[in-house]
Amino acid sequence: KKAVGAFSAAESFNYKKFFEMVGLKKKSPEDVKKVFHILDKDRSGFIEEEELKFVLKGFTPDGRDLSDKETKALLAAGDKDGDGKIGADEFATLVAES
C-alpha cells in the first residue's frame, strides 16, 4: 500500500523504485512468477500494454491507473525482444534490473 501511495501523483511512477519498495527484487523466482501471473489478467502468458496500465491495481485495488506515457515507458523497459508485450522471462529480467 505504501509503495502504491508513493506513486499516487500522475506521471510519478518509477518501476525500479516501485519494485524495490514492494520487495519484489528480494523475492524468489517463483514469487516473481506469481506476480507476473497476477498482472497477466487475460492469462495469455504475456503482460500487454493494456494490462500494464493497471499494474498498481495488481498490488492494491485502490491503486491508480498508469498514464499512457508511464505505461509506454514501462513496456519499453520490459519488452526486450520488441514484440510489444512482456513475457515471464522479460518480467523477471525487469525485476532483476530494478
CA angle 15, 45, 47 (to 5 degrees): 30
Q: What's the predicted TM-score (pTM) here?
A: 0.92
**Structural domains for the chain:** 1-7+28-97 (1.10.238.10)
The annotated binding site is made up of: 40, 42, 44, 46, 51, 79, 81, 83, 85, 90
Residue 38 near residue 22 (C-beta atoms within 8 A): no
Confidence of residue 98 (pLDDT cuts 50, 70, 90): confident
| Percent with pLDDT over 70 in the chain | 100
- For residue 38, the model assigns a pLDDT of 94
The answer on pLDDT for 1 being more than 90 is no
Binding region for Ca(2+): 40, 42, 44, 46, 51, 79, 81, 83, 85, 90
**Contact criterion met (CB below 8 Å) for 73 and 86:** no
